Homo-oligomer: A and B are copies of this chain.
Amino acid sequence: MASRVNDQSQASRNGLKGKVLTLDTMNPCVRRVEYAVRGPIVHRALELEQELRQGVKKPFTEVIRANIGDAQAMGQRPITFFRQVLALCVYPKLLSSPDFPEDVKRRAERILQACGGQSLGAYTISSGIQLIREDVAQYIERRDGGIPADPNNIFLSTGASDAIVTVLKLLVAGDGRARTGVLIPIPQYPLYSAALAELDAVQVDYYLDEERAWSLDIAELRRALCQARDRCCPRVLCVINPGNPTGQVQTRECIEAVIRFAFEEGLFLMADEVYQDNVYAEGSQFHSFKKVLTEMGPPYATQQELASFHSVSKGYMGECVQAQRVVVVKPELVENFPDHCHGSTVPDPLPRPASTHALPCRCGFRGGYVEVVNMDAEVQKQMAKLMSVRLCPPVPGQALLDMVVSPPAPSEPSFKQFQAERQEVLAELAAKAKLTEQVFNEAPGIRCNPVQGAMYSFPRVQLPPRAVQRAQELGLAPDMFFCLRLLEETGICVVPGSGFGQQEGTYHFRMTILPPIEKLRLLLEKLRHFHAKFTKEYS
């Protein structure tokens, strides 16, 4: 210590000082944060794009970013109705233009009237505009077959990530108490591992069963919980349904079992349901934790604490919105299919079909919400207080969320175009999910579970032992080595499975199904071809 002081004095005399903030002195929790979805591979992809622009010769002409679920960057057109309403909200002079349908104008006026000074530019109350929270509550009620939702239990947020971190903040221990353990699925969406590292909570991994289409097994939950008890105080169970990156959709039985488990073990439930509107596979259906919990009756319905998250940044129809379900059996039926999300309050008269179907999104608007169930009233006040420090979620995202939870009704002028645009996206996405699974499973050494929901595939790749060895020599995870080589040789950007977590000795990558179908076909073929070449090279 004394010598450091001397060094400093010396440095000071020379006018040279060390930095206040260095890798050694910075918050070690932040250092431990990792976030693969925007990690080194994406950084390299950006560099390659720049090199291409500068005319550097590459074995490819463009970088295809299949690393992130960003529909509009992939060329998907926005839904006209959403954009028209938003344009009118932004520039209300257009309300007198003859070029916009009447229902678009009514909708914009309704949103503007709910804003301070009738302007999107005013702050809103911290939990979000009251009218929009009421619309979200009605959407949830329709989704859950009439089970009531209280707008006071709904908090709007800047995308789902923001709300998830806020709830986690309440649950971590602080002040030198035993650290809070949080059970998360592996593979997981790395927001969870990143937030837990930052908040200095303990990540408790439970493994999804790849052999059974990434299903969630209660015995595995119990194993994880028991093993965690000696190193932390496990208090939270996170479930991602539909799965990200794994694309599975939980059965109702599974959700019931998870709720019973959480109740018995005294765990706070966090249900990440941001892909609830993106369910593709026949026989798969989305069940909300809120609905199942309520239908299970007491004590679960009355006591089990739950926070359920949605996001405008994902959801269906290329408009970054998570809050709308589209229910179809076959794409050609979409146009005629009644949708529980219409603004009308008439309940959906048809039974839920065997297959549901929904779509990707727009992400730049960053809207979302969390609904809390059975939360302690005092804690809920604390949550509202914490959210108020950031003043309010961005208002354009709030407005977009409102349109998504209450799209045009069949009687309204915008309905027909809205449905047509939706159908186009729907049909293509269903085809892309299928194509992805097919092409991968025809390739030797690649195996892909069905893409039941969300918008990613997470195929498993066999890597030859010599490739694994070479990666280790380079200090890289083997699947990172594979993905980096893939990027350098083909321009295809996917995220290595090690960024999401996977069983020791297995290797995966996450790839979105969002590129236009012809581009996706080419991409899948290139990928298959590259894997074969890579395997040969290291065999």
Contacts of A393 in B (CB 8 A): 366
The size class of the interface chain A forms with chain B is 35 or more
Contact B268 A318, beta carbon cutoff 8 Å: no
Q: Which of A253-261, A380-388, A458-466 contacts B (4 or more CB under 8 A)?
A: A380-388
A375 located at the interface, meaning its Cβ lies under 8 Å from any Cβ of chain B in the complex: yes
Closest Cβ of chain B to A367, distance in Å, is 8
A125 located at the interface, meaning its Cβ lies under 8 Å from any Cβ of chain B in the complex: yes
Contact A364 B91, beta carbon cutoff 8 Å: no
Q: Can you name the residue of chain B whose Cβ is closest to the Cβ of A321?
A: B121
Contact A38 B391, beta carbon cutoff 8 Å: yes
Contact B365 A121, beta carbon cutoff 8 Å: yes
Contacts of A392 in B (CB 8 A): 363-364, 366
Contact B117 A75, beta carbon cutoff 8 Å: yes
Stoichiometry (number of copies): 2
Give Cα distance in the complex from A76 to B121, angstroms: 10
Contact A20 B266, beta carbon cutoff 8 Å: yes
Contact A21 B171, beta carbon cutoff 8 Å: yes
A235 located at the interface, meaning its Cβ lies under 8 Å from any Cβ of chain B in the complex: yes
A72 located at the interface, meaning its Cβ lies under 8 Å from any Cβ of chain B in the complex: yes
Contact B87 A175, beta carbon cutoff 8 Å: no
Residues in A49-90 with C-beta less than 8 Å from chain B: 68, 70-76, 78, 83-84, 86-88, 90
Contacts of A376 in B (CB 8 A): 19, 21-23
Contacts of A390 in B (CB 8 A): 158-159, 161-162
Closest Cβ of chain B to A372, distance in Å, is 10
Closest Cβ of chain B to A379, distance in Å, is 5
Closest Cβ of chain B to A168, distance in Å, is 9
Contact B394 A366, beta carbon cutoff 8 Å: yes
Closest Cβ of chain B to A386, distance in Å, is 6
Contact string against B for A residues 306-346, beta-carbon threshold 8 Å, 1 for contact and 0 otherwise: 00000001000011100000000000000000000000000
Which of B23, B115, B194, B305 touches A379 (beta carbons < 8 Å)?
B23
A239 located at the interface, meaning its Cβ lies under 8 Å from any Cβ of chain B in the complex: no
Q: Which of A24-32, A423-431, A487-495, A522-530 contacts B (4 or more CB under 8 A)?
A: A24-32
Give Cα distance in the complex from A16 to B417, angstroms: 52
Give Cα distance in the complex from A492 to B31, angstroms: 47
Contact A363 B122, beta carbon cutoff 8 Å: yes
Contact B97 A90, beta carbon cutoff 8 Å: no
The 12 sampled A-B contact pairs (Cβ below 8 Å) are A21-B376, A21-B379, A25-B235, A26-B170, A30-B169, A34-B385, A38-B385, A38-B388, A70-B116, A159-B391, A198-B386, A313-B391
Q: Which 7 A-B pairs have the closest CB atoms?
A: A121-B362, A73-B116, A364-B395, A87-B91, A73-B122, A38-B388, A72-B119
Contacts A71-B121, A83-B91, A366-B393 known; list 11 others, CB within 8 Å.
A22-B379, A23-B378, A26-B171, A27-B170, A29-B174, A30-B174, A33-B385, A34-B385, A35-B389, A121-B363, A122-B362
